[in-house]
């Protein structure tokens, strides 16, 4: 019938400060439920099932037990951990060192170098992979060309050698990410007030002393952030090893994400794939906790508290 009082109320309701936030959040919430929350729960559930796309069979922990006994899974884990640890150690040390050099009062064209070092981020990972393939390649590569200048022949088969393939990937990742994390460290270093350096200089501390006793501890929060972020991101490495070697040669570049892809999307084993995904999540959480513990153990206040308690 159209009671005018009711109509006015609906409009007022939708505009009231109590309801507006829910309306504004509605699209987000719809997406969140469909693409985040439900998938997280559903994939946890099917990790306990045998599921090939049609017909679900509940099998309890069988997938996880299977993974535990799966030699290839542990190879993938070993490769991924090896990559994450080695790559991050090299890359973060380099980024930190370069940031410190750039922040030194002796270097004035800091912004120029920072801009240059950041440029590799403009290259997408597949492009990086393909370009570096052409750098490492035997007949058509850059290294080969340089060797040719000296009349020598370049015969290292970077991507056919199980011991070298992962290193090629580490090198290209370090190349790409160094400038990126260097920018983080530069921001962190810039937030340290100049007075601290001046007073330490008055106290007669040399450059190395100043760095290790003053700069590094003050930089710890940023360092922790970078280490954790880079570790978690690099754990999911897929593009380069898949495009270049498909996890080979001899599974030497097989990462956990590649193994998940092969299991779920090439072999159709969706249940087992979900189990792999959750194992990866577990590893990543363990890693992060380890790092946080390691880096905060060096906090003297905590040590003293431990000694007393």
Partner 1 sequence: MAIQRSDRWIRVALLVFLSILAVLVLIPFYWMFVNSLKAQGDFYSATSTLFPANPTLANYKELLTDTHYGLWIGNSFLISLLVVLIGLFICAASGFAFAAYDFKFRSLIFWTVLGTVAIPDIVTIIPVFNIMVKLGLIDSYASLVLPFAVSMFGIFLVKQFVETSFPMELLESARIDGLSEYGIFFRVVLPLIRPGLAVLGIFLWMSSWSSYFWPLIMIRSEVKMTLPLGLATLYANPWDLKYGVLMAGNVLATVPIILLYLLAQRQFIEGLTGGAVKG
26 sits in which H/E element: helix 20-32
**Residue 269 DSSP symbol:** -
Selected binder of partner 1 within 9, 42, 217, 294 (CB under 8 A): 42
Task: Quote the CA–CA distance of 148 and 281 in Å, as a whole number.
Answer: 46
Task: Quote the CA–CA distance of 122 and 142 in Å, as a whole number.
Answer: 21
**Residue 206 DSSP symbol:** -
User: What is the CA angle 21-25-30, rounded to 5?
Assistant: 150
Candidate segments 61-69, 160-168, 178-186, 289-297, binder of partner 1 by CB under 8 A: 178-186
CB of 131 to partner 1, least distance (A): 5
Which phi and psi angles does 124 have, rounded to 5°?
A: -70, 155
Cβ atoms of residues 254 and 241 within 8 Å: yes
Selected binder of partner 1 within 116, 196, 286, 305 (CB under 8 A): 116
**Of 104, 296, 156, 307, which is closest to residue 217 (Cα–Cα)?**
296
Sites for partner 1 among residues 282-301 (CB under 8 A): 284-285
Sites for partner 1 among residues 3-32 (CB under 8 A): 15, 17-18, 20-22, 24-25, 27-29, 31-32
Q: Hey, is 57 helix, strand or coil?
A: strand
Sites for partner 1 among residues 47-86 (CB under 8 A): 53
Residue whose CB is less far from partner 1, 20 or 85? 20
Sites for partner 1 among residues 180-219 (CB under 8 A): 180, 183-184, 186-187
Sites for partner 1 among residues 241-270 (CB under 8 A): 243, 257, 260-261, 264-265, 270
> How big is the site for partner 1, counted in residues (CB under 8 A)?
90
Sites for partner 1 among residues 139-168 (CB under 8 A): 139-142, 144-146, 148-149, 153
């Amino acid at each position: 019938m159209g009671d005018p009082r009711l109509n006015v109320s609906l409009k007022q309701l939708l505009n009231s400060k109590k309801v507006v936030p829910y309306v504004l959040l509605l699209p987000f919430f719809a997406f969140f439920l469909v693409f985040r929350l439900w998938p997280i729960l559903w994939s946890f559930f099917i990790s306990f099932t045998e599921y090939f796309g049609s017909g679900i069979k509940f099998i309890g922990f069988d997938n996880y037990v299977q993974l535990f006994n799966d030699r290839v899974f542990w190879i993938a884990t070993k490769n991924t951990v090896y990559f994450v640890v080695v790559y991050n150690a090299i890359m973060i040390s380099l980024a930190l060192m370069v940031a410190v050099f750039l922040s030194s009062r002796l270097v004035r064209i800091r912004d120029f170098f920072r801009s240059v070092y950041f440029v590799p981020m403009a290259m997408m990972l597949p492009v990086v992979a393909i370009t570096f393939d052409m750098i490492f390649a035997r007949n058509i590569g850059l290294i080969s060309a340089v060797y040719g200048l000296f009349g020598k022949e370049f015969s290292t088969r970077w991507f056919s050698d199980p011991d070298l393939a992962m290193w090629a990937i580490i090198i290209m990742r370090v190349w790409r990410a160094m400038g990126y994390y260097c920018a983080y460290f530069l921001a962190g270093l810039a937030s340290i007030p100049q007075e601290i350096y001046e007073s330490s200089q008055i106290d007669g501390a040399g450059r190395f002393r100043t760095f290790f006793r003053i700069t590094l501890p003050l930089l710890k929060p940023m360092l922790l952030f970078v280490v954790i972020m880079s570790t978690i991101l690099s754990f999911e490495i897929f593009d380069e090893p898949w495009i270049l070697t498909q996890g080979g040669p001899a599974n030497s570049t097989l990462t956990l994400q590649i193994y998940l892809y092969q299991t779920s999307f090439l072999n159709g084993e969706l249940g087992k794939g979900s189990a792999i995904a959750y194992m990866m999540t577990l590893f990543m959480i363990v890693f992060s906790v380890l790092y946080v513990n390691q880096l905060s153990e060096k906090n003297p206040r905590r040590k003293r508290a431990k000694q007393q308690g």
